[in-house]
Structure 1
Amino acid sequence: MEYIKKYIVKEEHTDWQGNMEGLYYPYYLEDCRHAYIKEILCFDFEEEARNGISMVLSNYRIQILRSLKGGSNLSVSCTVFRDKSASTLLHFKQMITLRGKIVTLGLFSSTCTPSNGGRSFLPPSLNRLLSRVPLLETLSNF
């Protein structure tokens, strides 16, 4: 279930050297991940929040391998995995690529929580959809 979204690095996301500022790597990864969650997993953040369910990040790691420049045409991918030992966690492996070369790797872990507090969970609609999603064997590899 890989999802890919295309972007052009905005000039206002760059520093005085023309390199993309570090805070925008997670920005592009998040935008792609949220689109994936809404379009593929059919989890609408706003609607679910109105229903008392919040999807939240519990952990993330990003490895920047190469710098991006303003105006770069990049692709961001997102693939979901279930957790091997915690049934309430989802893991999203992500990559930013430029001309077929990996620029950034990311691993984001999420869960859902009741808006009024309580234990983490995955809603039944997500559990049904994710029943065929592969397990992430280890968190140590991207």
Structure 2
Amino acid sequence: MEYIKKYTAKEEHINLQGNIDGLYVPYYLADCRQSFIHDVLKFDIEEEARNGIDMVLSKYNIDIFRTLKGGSKFSVSCTVSIDRNTPTLLYFKQAVTLRGKLTTRGLFSWTCRPTNGGRSFLPPSLSKQLDRLY
């Protein structure tokens, strides 16, 4: 399932050249990803943390092909897949598009770990939602 969220570049994210500063691109990706995790996967990161489960980033890669200008209206998409070889690892594939053109692509690997330490795992509530999607 592809989840899409629309944004307008925030003025405070614009650099002196009139572009979104490259450091803020991950901000928009993270905002969309967190909404996807909450809205689609029904996983409340804050609540789970209170229950001793931390969802943690393990690796990411971002490719920026075009810069976004101040005032740009753009979309960020997010999909999730499970690594069949490492079933405790989730891959979030994301893209930023402006007027139908790809400007940024990102791949983020996430897992869950007990707050007090221990091995990676996917909680049953999250596994259930992933099974529903796939």
- Same fold by TM-score, threshold 0.5 exceeded? yes
Letter in 1 for 2:123: P
C-alpha separation between the residues in 2 aligned to 1:13 and 1:125?
36
Number of paired residues? Answer: 134
Runs of 4+ in structure 1 off by over 3 angstroms are none
Q: Shift in Å at residue 131 of structure 1?
A: 2.4
Task: Give percent identity, aligned residues only.
Answer: 66
Name structure 1 gaps, 5 residues minimum. Answer: 135-142
Kindly report the root-mean-square deviation, in angstroms, between the aligned alpha carbons of the 2 structures: 1.0
- Residue pair 1:80, 1:133 contacting (<8 A) in 2 also: no
- Residue pair 1:94, 1:106 contacting (<8 A) in 2 also: yes
* Structure with greater helix share of residues: 2
Letter in 2 for 1:120: S
C-alpha separation between the residues in 1 aligned to 2:130 and 2:106?
20
Structure 2 matches for 1:25-40, cutoff 5 A?
Answer: 25-40=25-40
Q: Name the counterpart of 1:117.
A: 117
Q: Name the counterpart of 2:83.
A: 83
C-alpha separation between the residues in 1 aligned to 2:29 and 2:58?
16
Q: Shift in Å at residue 87 of structure 1?
A: 0.7
Structure 2 matches for 1:10-25, cutoff 5 A?
Answer: 10-25=10-25
Provide TM-score, normalisation by structure 1.
Answer: 0.91
C-alpha distance after superposition, 1:111-140 (max 9, x if no partner)? 000001110100011112212556xxxxxx
Aligned-partner SS, 1:116:
coil
